[in-house]
Amino acid sequence: MNTEQLIVFGVLGATLALFIWGRWRYDIVALIALLAMVISGLVPSERAFAGFGHPAVVTVAAVLVLSRGLLNAGVVDSIARYMGRVGVNPTMQVAALTGLVALCSAFMNNVGALALLMPVAIWMSRQAGRSPSLLLMPLAFGSLLGGTVTLIGTPPNIIIAAYRAETGVQPFGMFDFLPVGAGITIAGLIFITLVGWRLTPRRQENSVSKDELFKISDYIIEVRVPAESKFAGGTLHDLQVAAAADDVEMIVIGLVRGKKRQQIPSSYEVLRQDDILLIKADTESLERIIDLAGLELASKVNEDEHREKVAEGEINIIEAVVAPESLLIGKTAIGLSLRDRYGINVLAVARQGQRLRERLGRIPFVVGDILLIQGQEETLAGALAELGCLPLAEREMRVGKPRRILLATGIFGAAIAAAALNLLPAATALVCGAIVMVMAGLLSSTEAYKNIEWSIIVLLAAMIPIGQALETSGGAQLIADGLLGAAGSVSPALTIAILTTATMLLSNVINNAAAAILVAPIALSLARGMEASADPFLMAVAIGASCAFLTPIGHQSNTLVMAPGGYRFSDYWKMGLPLSLMVVATAVPLIMWFWPL
């Protein structure tokens, strides 16, 4: 092993450790690794950032924009609205939801497809009186399976297609992944529908309604501003500042003045005598704010009346889940000034099916947290979108106008056809489709940029030169030689199975795109060592990288359902392990049949 190989393996080992540790986001880790390679001289400085222009990176960005255009047009919503007709039989619900999400994930970002159908799954669970945990994990796994069907279904497929071009032949086409991807998807859906969902945990605490989970009305109190209060004539902001200075946590969710009711009154609203404030606070905080501000309890309003106010829309509240790229991650409600900047109140937080009892203003949000949010009806949806939160139980499905659905479908279909028929390279065809969607008004240019997951783009752009360094330094060949020596007495099919399994295990602990980039050079070296076609080895890497069923951190879809489903880390392998074994058992013969050595 020479010095260059030692450096490459050292940097990769440290990178994998940082990916698994999770202290820093994966795109930051990838950039650190890239800079280490550049400083060591293994990646030429003039090629350090060439990855940003790589066709795979451009294709991923275009697919994300196209996915948002399809969502805005209501293409998937128009299908999802029929889910209510499935009935309450759990097997039928699982079959319908996983089949639909797999179909959508084949042609759009799988996290986007999951985010759209997750509220539908939760609504169906509550209608049936069952825990959402029975549907959400199957839904997430279905989105991963569906992504294996086409070139654009998942970033690993796009990456592997680009690596095929290094062998001197055309990159994989739009539907070259279909024979193997459709085979494992059908097998996986049959398993999930008949057996898999029965292996998910029954989180009964998640089957309760929103009010029962958060018990929000227990904490809404009405207080009156008497004439002698020192805040009569002052602003609501003055009251909030005084409460914060005395370490009192309260949330003003409404103001009643005569017959007029206001939700989330302005912080600069001047308080008047006999104003009624609807305050969310615990008993201790309530007592302290009454003493501090000279307020008094209004005439008692029982819990049923509070629930009626919520039900009648006088207090608009909605459940939302913190998405992987949310602005809230690592921040607190106070730190982000959610009330002043976005016009919303966070009334409660639940994590893994349990309401958090800490003081709300001091809770750093994490991916998957369920928030109970209050806001004005006209601004709530915009605030959630800007913050990167996905509405859950109260979400109203948008059904696009037929003209917009047909327009979006036509643009997307034309881009897919141009790539599939080799009229244009895939990256060029999809970028054209994305631009036409913006020009057609299906999404704004600002929205297009916002929906590109820049952390994924940076990760890919940084890891591509690292993968090339692994190959040019001879590191990939060294690993391949070791595998060839160990697998000298086994069949090619078993070698493919080992490669698929190894990639799958790696993708369960690091980002799947990074896993594909790291293993693809090894697959190419392995093919050269066996004097065989690279196609079956690359296809094995693509399948393995896309099927991370064992952990919640292997894919964003798994992370996204963790809190709404009340899952624990150890819950995933119970259905994920047999599903992974089935994928390998199905994929290997299909690969050997359609992509022979």
The encoded tokens of residue 299 equal 């005439």
On whether both 218 and 301 belong to a single domain, the answer is yes
Q: Which of the pair, 430 or 241, is modelled with greater confidence? A: 430
Q: How many domains does the chain have?
A: 3
On whether both 410 and 451 belong to a single domain, the answer is yes
pLDDT at 213 over 60: no
On whether both 286 and 363 belong to a single domain, the answer is no
For the chain, how big is the Rg over CA atoms in Å? 27
pLDDT at 117 over 70: yes
Residues 528-561: tens digit of each pLDDT:
888 889 999 999 999 999 999 998 877 888 888 8
Assign residue 329 the CATH number of its domain: 3.30.70.1450
On whether both 451 and 365 belong to a single domain, the answer is no
Long-range contacts from 252-258, C-beta under 8 angstroms, 24+ separation: 252/277, 252/278, 252/279, 252/345, 253/220, 253/278, 253/279, 253/280, 253/315, 253/345, 253/347, 253/374, 254/278, 254/314, 254/315, 256/222
Q: Is the dihedral of CA 268, 273, 276, 278 positive or negative?
A: positive
Of 96-100, 120-124, 402-406, 574-578, where does mean pLDDT reach its minimum?
402-406
Mean pLDDT on 210-222: 56
Q: Which of the pair, 163 or 217, is modelled with greater confidence? A: 163
Of 70, 79, 69, 64, give the one whose Cα is nearest residue 111: 64
304 in any annotated domain? yes
Residues 421-431: tens digit of each pLDDT:
889 998 999 99
Q: What is the mean pLDDT of the chain?
A: 83
Q: What's the CA gap between 427 and 353, in Å, rounded? A: 41
On whether both 336 and 418 belong to a single domain, the answer is no
Decide: 161 and 171 in contact? Cβ < 8 Å: yes
Residues whose CB is less than 8 angstroms from the CB of residue 488 and which lie 6 or more positions away in sequence, other chains included = none
On whether both 384 and 434 belong to a single domain, the answer is no
Where is the domain boundary, 356, 391, 426? 391
The encoded tokens of residue 257 equal 């003045």
On whether both 274 and 305 belong to a single domain, the answer is yes
On whether both 231 and 283 belong to a single domain, the answer is yes
360 in any annotated domain? yes
Residues 75-91: tens digit of each pLDDT:
766 766 677 677 788 99
163 in any annotated domain? no
On whether both 405 and 353 belong to a single domain, the answer is no
136 in any annotated domain? no
Decide: 388 and 371 in contact? Cβ < 8 Å: no
376 in any annotated domain? yes
Q: How far, CA to CA in Å, does 302 sit from each of 261, 299, 363?
A: 18, 10, 29
DSSP 8-class letter at 401: -
Decide: 102 and 143 in contact? Cβ < 8 Å: yes
Mean pLDDT on 226-254: 82
On whether both 427 and 385 belong to a single domain, the answer is no
Return the bridge partners of 254, or none: 263, 278
Residues whose CB is less than 8 angstroms from the CB of residue 214 and which lie 6 or more positions away in sequence, other chains included = 347, 348, 350, 355, 372
Decide: 136 and 565 in contact? Cβ < 8 Å: yes
Of 33, 18, 25, 56, give the one whose Cα is nearest residue 324: 25
The encoded tokens of residue 168 equal 């001197």
On whether both 418 and 457 belong to a single domain, the answer is yes
Where is the domain boundary, 391, 413, 441? 391
Tell me what pLDDT residue 396 has. Answer: 44
pLDDT band at 203 (very low <50, low <70, confident <90, very high): low
Where is the domain boundary, 285, 311, 337? 311
Provide the terminal-to-terminal Cα distance of the chain, rounded to the nearest Å: 30
pLDDT at 302 over 60: no
Decide: 310 and 217 in contact? Cβ < 8 Å: yes
pLDDT at 215 over 60: no
Q: What's the CA gap between 191 and 99, in Å, rounded? A: 12
Of 99-103, 132-136, 191-195, 428-432, where does mean pLDDT reach its minimum?
132-136
pLDDT at 125 over 90: no
DSSP 8-class letter at 365: B
307 in any annotated domain? yes
Sort strands 354-355 and 344-351 into parallel, antiparallel or unpaired. Answer: antiparallel
pLDDT band at 255 (very low <50, low <70, confident <90, very high): confident
Supply the angle between the helices 512-529 and 155-164 in degrees, to the nearest 10: 30
pLDDT at 177 over 90: yes
On whether both 355 and 266 belong to a single domain, the answer is no
- Which amino acid, 415? A
The label of the residue with tokens 């991650």 reads 329
Residues 565-594: tens digit of each pLDDT:
878 888 899 999 999 999 999 999 999 999
474 in any annotated domain? no
Decide: 238 and 293 in contact? Cβ < 8 Å: no
Q: Which domain holds residue 365?
A: 317-391
Q: What's the CA gap between 552 and 512, in Å, rounded? A: 13
